């Protein structure tokens, strides 16, 4: 059984959704027969590459929120993540930026068999450690922490490698009508939108597996 997950590395709900799916898979009888592909999605591809801005200021402007409203929203997100075992630290100094290079890194990591490890490292660095994932040096450091070769990673990120792969993922998401992430597609038939409760993922997995048995 195949699962595609469209996500962006600066989306707090994407990290949470990934964790909830993983927990649902822990007690899924057919976990060994499930393979997962992480697909690229950019929430704001118009942002200039290699430039950052204050994350809270961005949210205030994008959603017409006050500083207090964003602070309360962040505190709620931290509590929600903590309930699922994730340590978010959404401080006022946090940055945001263009995620194209981070997604290119993930495609490179997939080619090296380390996609899931690198994605987890990027999520943890950004949401838990307030580290940058928007410049080449930071991405190379984080990639090397997962076992990827630093020189190879730098070479990839300083080129245009995997740009078309990211664009293809985003284009497919648009064709599917995806406007927000995380977005999960199981066996090209069952869609789950958002970081749903674990039981919803369990139900979707069981339904998708039962359908495979009927079709076969």
The answer to whether the CB of 181 falls within 8 A of the CB of 11 is yes
Task: Identify the CATH number of the domain in which residue 52 sits.
Answer: 3.40.30.10
Checking if the pLDDT of 62 tops 90, the result is yes
DSSP character for 111? Answer: H
Helix-then-strand count for the chain, H and E? 9, 6
Please give the average per-residue pLDDT across 158-186, as a whole number. 97
Q: What is the pLDDT of residue 18?
A: 98
pTM as predicted = 0.95
**Chain mean pLDDT for the chain:** 96
DSSP SS3 for 132:
coil
How far apart, in Å, are the Cα atoms of 65 and each of 47, 102, 156, 191?
20, 28, 38, 31
Q: What is the pLDDT of residue 50?
A: 86
DSSP SS3 for 187:
coil
State pLDDT tens for residues 124-166. 999 999 999 999 999 999 999 999 999 999 999 999 999 999 9
Q: What is the pLDDT of residue 214?
A: 72
Checking if the pLDDT of 216 tops 60, the result is no
Q: How many domains does the chain have?
A: 1
State pLDDT tens for residues 77-115. 999 999 999 999 999 999 999 999 999 999 999 999 999
Please give the average per-residue pLDDT across 171-179, as a whole number. 95
How far apart, in Å, are the Cα atoms of 103 and each of 31, 41, 87?
26, 8, 22
Q: Which domain holds residue 88?
A: 2-215
Q: What is the pLDDT of residue 147?
A: 97
Please give the average per-residue pLDDT across 185-198, as a whole number. 96
Over pLDDT 90: what percentage of the chain? 95
Q: Which residues contact 88 (CB under 8 A, 6 or more apart)?
A: 12, 77, 78, 81, 82, 127, 128
DSSP character for 8? Answer: -
23-54: b (≥16 Cβ within 10 Å) or e: ebbeebeeeeebebebbbbbbeeebeeeebee
The pair of structure tokens assigned to 47 is 């942002």
The pair of structure tokens assigned to 10 is 């600066």
The answer to whether the CB of 167 falls within 8 A of the CB of 45 is no
Checking if the pLDDT of 205 tops 80, the result is yes
First-to-final CA distance of the chain: 13
């Amino acid at each position: 059984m195949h699962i595609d997950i469209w996500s962006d590395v600066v989306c707090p709900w994407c990290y949470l959704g990934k964790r909830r799916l993983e927990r649902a898979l822990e007690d899924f009888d057919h976990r060994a027969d499930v393979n997962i592909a992480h697909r690229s999605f950019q929430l704001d591809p118009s942002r200039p590459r290699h430039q950052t801005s204050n994350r809270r200021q961005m949210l205030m402007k994008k959603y017409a929120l006050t500083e207090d409203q964003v602070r309360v929203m962040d505190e709620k997100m931290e509590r929600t993540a903590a309930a699922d075992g994730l340590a978010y630290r959404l401080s006022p100094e946090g940055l945001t930026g263009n995620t194209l290079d981070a997604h290119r890194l993930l495609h490179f990591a997939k080619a090296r068999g380390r996609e899931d490890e690198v994605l987890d490292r990027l999520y943890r660095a950004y949401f838990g450690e307030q580290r940058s994932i928007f410049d080449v040096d930071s991405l190379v450091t984080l990639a090397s922490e997962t076992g990827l070769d630093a020189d190879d990673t730098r070479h990839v990120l300083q080129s245009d490698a995997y740009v078309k792969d990211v664009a293809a993922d985003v284009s497919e998401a648009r064709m599917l009508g995806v406007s927000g992430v995380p977005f999960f597609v199981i066996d090209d038939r069952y869609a789950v939108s958002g970081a749903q409760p674990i039981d919803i993922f369990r139900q979707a997995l069981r339904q998708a597996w039962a359908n495979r048995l009927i079709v076969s």
